[in-house]
Amino acid sequence: MKITIPRLSTSNALDFCQRLPYTEYDETYLFDVSEINNYEPLPMLLTAAAIRQFCSSREIEPWQMQLFYNDDINYQYACHMGFFQAAGFAEGKAPGEAPGSGTYIPLTKLNIKELLRQEIDLGNFIEQGDIIEIESKRLSHILSQDQKEFQKILQYLIREAVRNIPEHAETDDFWICGQYWHNRDLAEIAILDEGVGIYNSLTKNAIHRQFISTNEDALRWALKPGVSVSFDPAKGQKARDVWANSGYGLFMISEICKMTGGWLTFVSGDDCLRVYSNGLSVCGVHFQGTALGIRVKPSRIIGFKSLIDEARTQGEEVAKGIKNAFKEASVPSKGLIY
């Protein structure tokens, strides 16, 4: 069975994820990447995960997978970024093997508990939130090239996306990839987990369940400020833990994307929300887990604090009208800890 992987734009990757599970059964599968002339962060993470999940669901062994490609600059780039090994093929570098540079973060798989264990082994007894902050700072430095305000925004965006994963996705594993296109004044960070998904997470809380009938409802609800699976009106917002989740992360990310001329692509289950400065669109997909594609224009990032304060103020105002939401952003959502 021949499976053609299309040009890896976000729209094409979403369509590929939706179609792949309906591929006919066969003894072997030939994945054709010869037509691809671009590889972007979110499409790479989504497509690699879709192939992994497809092979897992059908118990496809490595010997049943073949790759057809043109040995050109595009194929070599994908090899360097770790795309093929992330999808389950033997070609190219392993995920995270490439060192990264001022223009890219390769496909990299990380485990939050493993990162924390490494710090403890070094004698640094820190909390889970601290290690997420440290790793977010490290990753943001790779792309920012000493542009301080840009680096702070990247660190914030990565941190807010990743710290949701252990609580909401119920997994400690996540994938990250990034690209900075100087000539396009554009940067993209993609973060993906293969956890329980937004719908399964939010509907575990009976307070939110009454507002969620569909998977799309869950994604829309998750984008609202103050909405968290940990919300409990009996307890209010009294957690002493500085890293306690207040449900502002996704809202803050989406607002920063809009304010900086970018967009947010939010994927979970069978739906994808794409948030732009002038509106929101919805499309179908098929993905077990949650993925975020975060795009910003570095030239629009003038001041980190002013961006965060504007988004937070707007969010806290909106949250006043949401009955089952935290009314104040947590300390991390208000800015950087380090």
- Show the domains of the chain with their CATH numbers: 1-98 (3.30.750), 99-334 (3.30.565.10)
* Mean pLDDT, all residues of the chain: 91
Residue 324 is predicted with a pLDDT of: 82
pLDDT top residue among 129 and 280: 280
Residue 51 · residue 86 · CB < 8 Å: no
Least confident of 10-19, 36-45, 121-130, 223-232: 223-232
Rounded-to-integer distance, Cα 251 and Cα 12, Å: 26
Q: What is the pLDDT of residue 258?
A: 96
> What percentage of residues in the chain have a pLDDT greater than 70?
95
Per-residue pLDDT reduced to its tens digit, 250-305: 999 999 999 999 999 999 999 999 999 999 999 999 999 999 999 999 999 988 89
pLDDT at 239 over 90: no
Written as six digits, the tokens of 63 are 């010997």
**Cα–Cα distance for residue pair 329/123, rounded to 1 Å:** 32
pLDDT classification of 327: cutoffs 50, 70, 90: confident
Residue 223 has pLDDT above 60, yes or no: yes
pLDDT tens track for 166-175: 878 899 999 9
Q: According to the model, what pLDDT value does residue 68 have?
A: 95
Predicted local distance difference test score (pLDDT) of residue 57 = 96
pTM to 2 decimals?
A: 0.94
pLDDT in tens, 85-121: 999 999 999 999 998 888 999 999 999 999 999 988 9
Looking at residue 129, its amino acid is G
Q: Does residue 159 contact residue 138 with C-beta atoms inside 8 Å?
A: no
Average pLDDT over residues 233-248: 62
The phi and psi torsions of 289 (rounded to 5 degrees) equal: 130, -155
pLDDT of residue 232: 67
Task: Tell me which amino acid residue 182 is.
Answer: H
Interval 51-78: pLDDT, tens:
999 999 999 999 999 999 999 999 999 9
pLDDT tens for residues 16-27?
999 999 999 999
Which pLDDT score is estimated for 244? 64
Residue 242's pLDDT band, with cuts at 50, 70 and 90, is: low
The neighbouring-strand residues paired with 280 are: 275
